[in-house]
Structures are given as C-alpha cells and as structure tokens.
A and B are shown apart, each in its own frame.
Chain A
Amino acid sequence: MIYGVYAAIHNDRNIVSASQSGGAFTALSDVILDMGGVVYGCVLDRTFRAVHMRADNKAQRDLMRGSKYVQSDLGSTFSQIKADLAAGRTVLFSGTPCQTAGLKKFIGDKGERLYCADIICHGVPSPAVWKSYLKWQQSRKRRRITDAVFRNKEGHGWHSHFERISFEDGTEVSSNVYANVFYGHHPLRPSCFSCPFKSLERQGDITIADCWGIDKIAPELDDNTGISLMLVNSQNGQELLDKAGDNMVLQPIDIENVMQPCLKEPFPEPEDRDVFWQEYRTKSFGYIARKYGRYGADRTPKMLVKRAVGKIRRIIR
C-alpha cells in the first residue's frame, strides 16, 4: 500500500547540489540524527570501494550522499544495526530494496525503532568491473586517482550521466564509459535479472529515487539541478516524512506519471552476458571500454580533461 507519492526538493540549494537527486535522503536522515539516532548508508572508502558505514553525525552522513553504481559491501552492517537497536537507538538504514528486505527479515519483530529508506534500483554492477575501470583510467593518465564521482550532476546536470575521475595532478576526466557499460547491463549481478523487488510493493518505509517524468507533469520544478521522488509506504514512513517535510518542497503527484521501468519488472539478462565476462577475463579493459562503453565510438572526444580545483581526498591503492 502506498500512503503518498511526492516530488521533493530540499529547501537548501547546497544540499540539492551535493545529493544525487533532490536531497530527500538528507532530509530524512537529519530527522534521525537530530533525535540521537544513527544512520547507515553507502560510502566510497579510501580505495574507492563502495561499503556501508554507520554515521552518528552529519559529517559522516554527508559521505553517503551520491549514488554509487556498484554493489556495496555490507560487511557486518546487519549485526551492528541489531546491536544499535538492542541498545535502544533509533536507526535509519538506506540501501537497495534487496538489502532492505534481508535486513528486515533479519531484525524481525525487534524493529520498532528501525526505519528503512530503499532506493528504486536499476541493478548493481560488479565491484571488480568498477575497480578495473578505475585502473584503466589511472593507467591512461599515469597519475593516481584522488576522487571518483559516479554521476557528476554538478558538471553536467541532473538528467545526464557522466562519471568524473580526479587525479593527483589536479586534472579531471569526465567520461561516460562506465555509465555505458552499466546501462548495457552485462556487469549487473545475476540476481538483478530475477529481482522480485521491482514493483510498487516496496521494502522501505520510504522509497527515494530520481523523479524521472517530472519534466512532463511539472516542468516548472525542473531546472536540471535534481528532484527526488518519494514513495511513502508505511505508517512509520509517514511519520518520518511528517518530521522531514518542513525542510523540503513537497508536491503530491500521481504515481501513474512517474512509473519508471524499475518499478515494474527486472531487465532481461543480456543474451551475450557470458561473452562479456569471457572478454572481461581474457582481454584488456580498453577492449571492454570500446566494445561496451562506446569509448572512441563518437567523433566528439568522450574524455574532456579539465583542471580541477578540488583538493586531494582519496588515494587509490
């Protein structure tokens, strides 16, 4: 059952810029942190691996912003959440629908203080392919990578999908090679092709996503900086949104207008998925980049090199 469907934009424009969509995750997690709770979500660690982490303050939480298009390593997250709940803490978990489903079954009836925000999920690529991609970018530049952003909204706008890789000498590469490989679906986890969670029967108390389709129904809201879609799926979710709502512009919308593919059914497994993995194992990543990532396919240069002003944050090992 769906309690409500909203287009949501955080009132703080800086938060919208720093988030993947409209900053819904920040508004929700602020409520939990302000009441002394803890937040779990996905961050990129120092080696650019996607891992789930625990945050009990906003600085740690801010690292969870931005979509990492790779399967995150949960580590011992579920046991940590169980311990937090047993200690009486309020917990917000954010993750994929399948992670949320597993957590909820694991916690069972001890979850009165557990809130879950699941994403609408396209599917998760292999961490190995992400690592190979970064190594390839690093060897082309012969420089160490210092930062990686999967979908650089600031540089290209919310509607587009380019990754941004930053290097130790201050330069940046803007590329859609990884994005193209992702959207080809070859590197997705096998379970994503038989995913039972691609429906309106949601796992989270609230579902957060990109509000694709808003440009058709409320174009005045869409200035290409990012809009969240929020589905409220439970009484707990409604209570959380009631507290978070003051910090966002919320516009009720009709679900029919924002039904994206990932709310309906899984993608079919590519017929040549085996060929991809065979080639991934035996050929260089440059070959994968050309064949599956459209690297060098277009006449306009795909790699735009820019001077970066950002400071060095992470060093790849």
Chain B
Amino acid sequence: MNKEKIVLFEKKQECCGCTACAAVCPAQAVTMQPDEEGFLYPVINEEKCLHCRACIGVCPFKD
C-alpha cells in the first residue's frame, strides 16, 4: 500500500468538522482536536494509520 502521508485538508476552509473521517477510520487513528479558534479538526495519529484512505473517501467536503 502507498505509504504517503494522508492529508485530510490543505486549508481550514476545506473541513467542516463533521467527524465522518474519525468515525470511518478502521484503526481509530483520527481524533477531533480543537484549534486555536476553538473549532474541532481531525488529527491523524501517523503511528496508527494504515493508509487505507477511507477517511478521504468519506469526506463530504471533497465532492
């Protein structure tokens, strides 16, 4: 499998914080964490990540 680092969003405008990526992750590698403005964003734990890309596929902001 491609071991490239998974990037869920380049800019904050591209993530609404819906938690779908965290819910779908088979490795529980995604947790929602607050940024400096107090909004939750997904953060991937690289050590747990299986690079399956399920999180990218489920994201409603990537259609």
Contact = CB atoms under 8 A, between A and B. Distances in A.
Q: Do A and B bind each other?
A: yes
Interface of A: 71, 73-79, 82, 96, 98-99, 101-106, 126-129, 131, 187, 189-196, 277, 281
Task: Say which size band chain B's interface belongs to.
Answer: 20 to 34
A102 B38 contact: no
Nearest to A73: B40
Interface of B: 11-20, 23-24, 34, 36-40, 58-61, 63
A191 B13 contact: yes
Nearest to B19: A74
A191 B23 contact: no
Contact of A190 (B12, B20, B24): B12
Which of B19, B24, B58, B61 lies at the interface centre, i.e. has the most chain A CB atoms within 10 A of its CB? Answer: B19
Given A79-B23, A106-B23, A98 B16 contact: yes
Nearest to B40: A73
B19 to A, nearest CB: 5
B13 A196 contact: no
Contact of A128 (B18, B23, B38): B38
Q: Is the interface of A mostly helix, strand, loop or mixed?
A: helix
A78 B24 CA distance: 9
Which of A76, A190, A194 lies at the interface centre, i.e. has the most chain B CB atoms within 10 A of its CB? Answer: A190
B58 A82 contact: no
A71 B61 contact: no
A240 to B, nearest CB: 22
A150 to B, nearest CB: 17
Contacts of B36: 281
Contacts of B59: 102, 105
B11 to A, nearest CB: 8
B35 to A, nearest CB: 9
Given A102-B60, A105-B58, A191-B61, A76 B17 contact: no
B40 A106 contact: no
A285 to B, nearest CB: 13
Given A73-B40, A74-B19, 18 more contacts: A71-B39, A76-B23, A98-B60, A102-B18, A102-B19, A105-B60, A106-B23, A126-B38, A126-B39, A127-B39, A190-B11, A190-B39, A191-B15, A191-B16, A191-B61, A192-B16, A194-B14, A195-B16
